Structure 1
C-alpha cells in the first residue's frame, strides 16, 4: 500500500500540470463535472468529447439504481475504470471493459481513494488509488479512451481486465450471452453479446505502450459469464503505463479503427485537444452572471452536449436495432437518445445551439425505422430498450422540419411518422401490449384502464403529443387530409378530463371513471396498477399543453380557470413525500421538477393575466434546484433534459410546445447572454429593468409575442430585449 505522503505528492504534481488553467481563462474552466454526481442526478465525472461514443470513468459499483452511471460522489471505493456509460439516466447500462491498475498482484484490485486527489475537467479525469499505489488519468477522443497510469514504483505491476463487468439494475452481474477475446504482444481484442437494458453487441481493441509480460486468467466468480484477467507489465524507472481503448458496435476491425482514429501516445496533447474542443463549443453561449451561476450554466451546457452519443465507427458503420451492421449514407449516427425526456427541451435546444448536428439526429431516427418498422423510443448502443411511453421521436422530427432543417427527406420522415402512429407494436418490442396498439386506441379514443397493464392515462395523453406532431408534419408537406386525421385523434385527451375534478382520470372500456381515485398518488411501472408514468393525476393533467395549450385553457373555462388550476397546483396542494424513485423530488406544491412531466408547467403562467407568478417560479426553481455542488441536480439529469431546462430558463424562453418551432417567454435569469453559432448571426439577449414582470419583448426592434416566439426569427440573430 502506498503511503499518504507519496499519494499527496502525486496528486499535487498532477494538479500543477499546465493543462489546468484558472476557471476564468476559458469556458471549459467554468465546468464542474462533479455537479450532479451526488444523489439522484446520476451524472459522472469522467472525460468525454462532445457527443462522444466513449465516456470512460470510475465505477464505484456495478449494479443498483444509485449507480446508473457507475459513480456516486460519496462512494468510498473504486472498482475500476470502464469505457462507456450514460449520463443521468434512471437505468444502468454499458460499463464495458473495466481496467484497474495496481502495484501488487491481487484478484480484487478495488481501492479506496482520497477525494482531495480526484480531479475532473472537460476532457480529463484523475484520481490516486490509495490501496494500489497508482495515479490514474483518463482522457478521450470521439471514439476512443486513453488511460495513463503513474505507478509508485517501477518493475512488475498489474492490471485487472474485467470483461464480465457491466452496469446493471436487477442482477449482480450483467448477463453475457457470448464472448471472445485474444491477446497479442501489447494488445488484446474481443467482442461480446450482452443482454441488460437491451441486447447489444460490443467489440473492443485495447493497445498498451508497453509489452504484456504476463497473462493470468482469474477463476470465475458466481454469476460470471465472461473472463477476467491479470496482466503483468515490467516498467522502467518512469513507472508509467498507457492504454488506448477503442469500442464499436460492429466488430474488432471497427474497434481497432476507432482506437486509432487519433493515434500516438501523447496523452497531454489529446487532453489539450479535448479541452480546446469543449472550449470552442461551450463558447457558443456566454452569459453575464455571478461566478456561481456561471459554473451552473457552463456545466449545464456541458451535460447537454454529452448526449446523444455518436454510435457510428470511423468508417461510418454501425449496428442497428435488428442486429445487422449498416453503413451511414453520410454524416454521423447517434444513440443514447433519451427521447421521452429530451423531446421536451434538449432536442429543441440542439436546434438552436448545435444546428449542424440536427439533420444527423433525425436521419438516425429514420435509419432506425427502416429496420425496426417504427421510430425509436429509447435507443442505446444502437439497440432499442423500448423504455418509457408515447412516441417521443415524432415531435423531434416535426420540430426540426418546422425550423427549416432540410438535410433529411421530408416524405421519408412523414412515412416513418405515420407508420409509427398506425402500426401495432412489432416483434422488436416484446411485452409492450399497450403503447402502440393503435387498433385499441382508435376503437376507444384512449387506452381503457381495464385493457392495458398500466399507465393508461399517461399513455393516452402522450399519444396526443405524437399525433399533433404527425398532423403538423403532414400539413407542412401539403397533406391536408392526413393532417386532419391526426389532428382529430390528437384531441382525444378531452375524453379523459373528468368534469368533477377537472383532472385527467382513467376510464375503462365502458366509459366508467376509475374509482377510487386519488389524484395525489404517483404511480409508475414499479408500483402499478396505476394510470400514470412516474407522476400522478395532477402532474400529468398538464400534458395536453405540450401541443394544445389553448384547448386545455378552453376546457378549464379560459384564462381565469387556467390560473386557478395553476395556483392550486403550486400553492394549494401538499408536496408528495417518499417517492423520489418516481421523480417526486424538487417539489413546489405538486410541481415535481425532478421529473419531466412537470417541466413546462411554470411557463404556462404566460397564458394568464399574471405571468409574473410564473417568472418568479422559474427563478425559484433555477435557484433552489440547481447548485454548484455535487448534489446540485435534484432528479435524474436524463441525458441533458434537466440541464436544457436550466439553459432555457437563463436565456428567458422555453419550448412549451416542442414540435411547433416556437417558444414561450419569461424573464431571463441573467442580464445579458450571447448565442454565437459559427455560420449564423449572433443573438444578443438583454434584460432591461429590475421588475419581475415582462412588459415588452422586442427582437431587432420589433415586438414579439411572448407566447409564440418564432425559432426562425431567433436563429436569424439580432438583439432580443426583455423589458421588465
Structure 2
C-alpha cells in the first residue's frame, strides 16, 4: 500500500535500524527480520471510525503534530481521515481515536504563494508515516512537509519546489471541534520577533483550557501580514514571508505548554538544534526500545497489527508537565512536580479496562506518575478525574473510572504513591456529590440519591440510570479493595456492601439489568435491544443497551454475576444467546454498535470483557474461539483496520492482551483471566524484570491448564505479580470434545 513505499529518507535510516537488531548468526544471506519500528503502520485506524492519526509522537508525548483534513465533525476527532482529498494544514496536538474532537492547536500551512484557501491536494503515494516521522507532498502548494517531535516539541521541515520568497499560514483560531464551526477562543495574545513568535490563549471546547506556544524558525521572518478575520473568529491569522535565497528548506521548532509562554519556549528548546534527521533517529530508537518489550512469533501481517497496536496503546496518556516540572491543574493553578511527570489525555472510562493494565505490564515506569497525577488532580478539583485533557476536566462519561486504576496499581505492588492520600481521594470521590460541569450534565455521581435508594432511580437520576448504577459498583469495589489492602476494614466493609447494588437492578424475569423508579417499579415497557445515549436518544444506558451493559458487574465481581445468572451453565446459556441468538443492531455506529457478533459490539468498551466470561462457564472453549474471531475479523492490516473508536489505546490494548492469551476482566484485582494465545510464542522483556516467555502448546482449541515454570496457575485469577517475576508461561491446549 502507498504508506509502505520506501523513500530515500527512510532508506538513509536503515543502517541505524540494522544497528538496533541482533547481529546475524549465519553467513548465508537470509531475509532480515523487521524491527518493531518497521512493523508499525500508523495509517491503521485512520480510515473510518478508528479516528487515529498518522503524525509523529514520542511515547506518551505531550505534542503530536500532524495533518488536518478538516477542523470540525465527528469523523475528524483527530483531524485526519485517510480518504480525505485535501490537507488544510498541520496542527500540533490531538488525541488518538477519541469520539469527541479536541486540541488541534496552532495550524501551520506552507506554500509558494498566498491563497485565500490554502488547502492542498496530495498524492497518497507521497504520504509516509513511521513512528516518529510523517511526510507528505502538498501538490497545490509546491512543498514537501516533514514532521517529527521530541517529548514536548514539534519539528517541521518544509522543502519547497523553488527558493526565493515563500509563505507560511499561521492560524491561531484553528482547533478541532464538532459543537461549533470553529473552536471558541476566549482570549489571545501573540508577539512576533525576528525569528519566531510566542503567545497564550484561553480556549473553550470540550473543556476550558489554557494554551501557550513558542515557535522558532531557522530563517528570519521577512514579512508579517495579518489576514482579515472571518465572522466568529477571536484569534488572529497571519501570513509569514521568508526569503530562502537559492535554498529551498525552511525548518521550525514548536513548543506548547499548559503554563505560559516561558514554559512553551523551554519545551520548544528541550532538544535544541536544527538536525531534523537526528531527531527522527532518536525518536525511532525510543520507539524501538519500548515496542521491543513485547515480541511475537507470527506471520508478517499479524506482526504489523500487533506492533501497531502496541504503538497506539503507548501514545496516551500524554505528558502534561513542562521541562521544569510545571503544569496547570484543573483549578487553573500552576504547580511544579518535584520529580517524575504529570499526565493528561486520560480516557479513563475506556482505558481502565485494558489500556491501563497494559501499561502496568509493559511500561511499569509510568504507573506511579500516572496515579500521582490522579491524586494531584483530586486535591486540585476536590475529586478524582473522569476524562481530563490538556490538564482540564471534561466530565465525560459516567462512573468514577479513576478508582479501579488506583486500586489496580496498589494491588500490583506499585508503591511510588502515597497510599493514604490515594485512599482519601477515593473516599472523597465516592461520597461527595459531583457538581455539573455544563447544563444537563447527566454523568454525575450523586451519592446522596444513590445511597437513599441503593441505585439510581430512572425518574430522579436524569438519564443513564442503569449504567450509572452498574459503574458505581466498579468504583465501590475498587475503594473497598484499596481500603482492605491498607488495613481499613471498616471502610472496606462499607464500600464492599455498596458494590453489590447491581443486584437490585437484575430483573429476575429477563435476567438483565433493568431500570427501576423511585417506587421500585421496573421500567415498562422494556426494550433490551435499543441502545441509548444522552446525546441522541436518552435512556437508561450509556452508548449501549440492556444486553450489552448487563455484563458490567463482572468487571469487579465475575463470580457473583455468574452465580446470580445460574452458575456456570446458566451464565453460558445467557452468553450463547447474547453472541449467537440475537441479531446485530444496525445504523448506530455512533453509539459503538459496530464490529458486532450478535449483540456483542466490539466497537465500544462495555462489551470488551464479555467473551472472556466463558472462562467462568462449563464451555470455556467458546470464549477462546470468540476471542480469536474478534481479533481476526475486527483488526486488519489496512487503514480501516480498527472498527470502532480507538479511544486512547483501549481498542489496541484489547488486541495485545488477546494475542498474549490473558485479559484483565477484573482489573483492580491484580489478576488476569486466561484464554489461548493467538501465537505460538511471545516474549516480554521489560527493563528491571525477568523475561517472560509465553508458549501455546498443543493443537487443540480448549485450554487445559496454564503453568508458570511448571507451577499451575488458576485459570480465572492469574496473578500479575507472578507473571512479572518472569519464567516460561505455558498454555496447554487440548482438542475440544463433544459431550
Which of 653, 661, 686 is the matching residue for 2:695? 686
Q: Match of 2:337?
A: 328
By how many angstroms is 1:12 displaced?
5.2
Distance 1:166 1:433 in 2: 26
Determine if the alignment matches structure 1 residue 18 to structure 2 residue 18. Answer: no
Distance 1:700 1:17 in 2: 44
By how many angstroms is 1:15 displaced?
5.4
Change (3 A) 1:644 1:12: closer
Distance 1:195 1:11 in 2: 41
Which of 284, 307, 312 is the matching residue for 1:298? 307
SS in 1 for 2:178: coil
* Kept in 2: contact 1:11–1:117 (CA 8 A): no
TM-score w.r.t. the length of structure 1 is: 0.97
Q: Match of 1:3?
A: none
Alignment of 1:268-287 (within 5 A): 268-287=277-296
By how many angstroms is 1:453 displaced?
1.8
Determine if the alignment matches structure 1 residue 241 to structure 2 residue 261. Answer: no
By how many angstroms is 1:26 displaced?
1.6
Question: CA deviation digits over 1:521-553, x for unaligned, max 9?
Answer: 000112233100000000000000011111111
Determine if the alignment matches structure 1 residue 412 to structure 2 residue 421. Answer: yes
Alignment of 1:341-356 (within 5 A): 341-356=350-365
Alignment of 1:312-391 (within 5 A): 312-391=321-400
Question: CA deviation digits over 1:470-500, x for unaligned, max 9?
Answer: 0000000001111010000000000001111
SS in 2 for 1:177: strand
By how many angstroms is 1:428 displaced?
5.6
By how many angstroms is 1:19 displaced?
5.6
Question: CA deviation digits over 1:294-330, x for unaligned, max 9?
Answer: 0000000000000000000000000000111111132
Change (3 A) 1:163 1:11: farther
Distance 2:361 2:280 in 1: 28
Question: CA deviation digits over 1:12-70, x for unaligned, max 9?
Answer: 55455436969944210000000000000000000000000000000000000000000
Q: Match of 1:38?
A: 47
* Kept in 2: contact 1:176–1:192 (CA 8 A): yes
SS in 2 for 1:422: coil
Q: Match of 2:23?
A: none
* Kept in 2: contact 1:33–1:121 (CA 8 A): yes
Distance 1:673 1:433 in 2: 44
* Kept in 1: contact 2:697–2:730 (CA 8 A): yes
Distance 2:438 2:131 in 1: 37
Distance 1:36 1:347 in 2: 20
Distance 2:169 2:40 in 1: 31
Distance 1:431 1:457 in 2: 18
Which of 480, 492, 501 is the matching residue for 2:489? 480
Question: CA deviation digits over 1:106-157, x for unaligned, max 9?
Answer: 2321100000000000000000000000000000000000000000000000
SS in 1 for 2:239: strand
Distance 1:143 1:619 in 2: 38
Which of 101, 104, 110 is the matching residue for 2:119? 110
What residue ranges of structure 2 are gaps of 5+ in the alignment? 19-31, 734-739
Question: CA deviation digits over 1:408-445, x for unaligned, max 9?
Answer: 00011000000000001137676535621100000001
By how many angstroms is 1:359 displaced?
0.2
SS in 1 for 2:422: helix
Question: CA deviation digits over 1:223-257, x for unaligned, max 9?
Answer: 21100000000002231000000000000000000
Question: CA deviation digits over 1:76-126, x for unaligned, max 9?
Answer: 000000000000000000000000000012232110000000000000000
Distance 2:442 2:646 in 1: 29
Which of 136, 150, 175 is the matching residue for 1:127? 136
Distance 2:251 2:265 in 1: 16
Question: CA deviation digits over 1:366-393, x for unaligned, max 9?
Answer: 0000110000000000000000000000
By how many angstroms is 1:607 displaced?
0.7
SS in 2 for 1:457: helix
SS in 2 for 1:495: helix
SS in 1 for 2:322: coil
Distance 1:549 1:611 in 2: 14
Q: Match of 2:655?
A: 646
Q: Match of 1:567?
A: 576
Distance 1:688 1:263 in 2: 51
Distance 2:225 2:582 in 1: 62
SS in 1 for 2:668: coil
* Kept in 2: contact 1:344–1:656 (CA 8 A): yes
SS in 1 for 2:424: helix
* Kept in 2: contact 1:68–1:91 (CA 8 A): yes
Q: Match of 1:712?
A: 721
Which of 173, 186, 194 is the matching residue for 2:182? 173
Q: Match of 1:4?
A: none
Change (3 A) 1:207 1:664: same
Change (3 A) 1:101 1:434: closer
Distance 1:130 1:491 in 2: 61
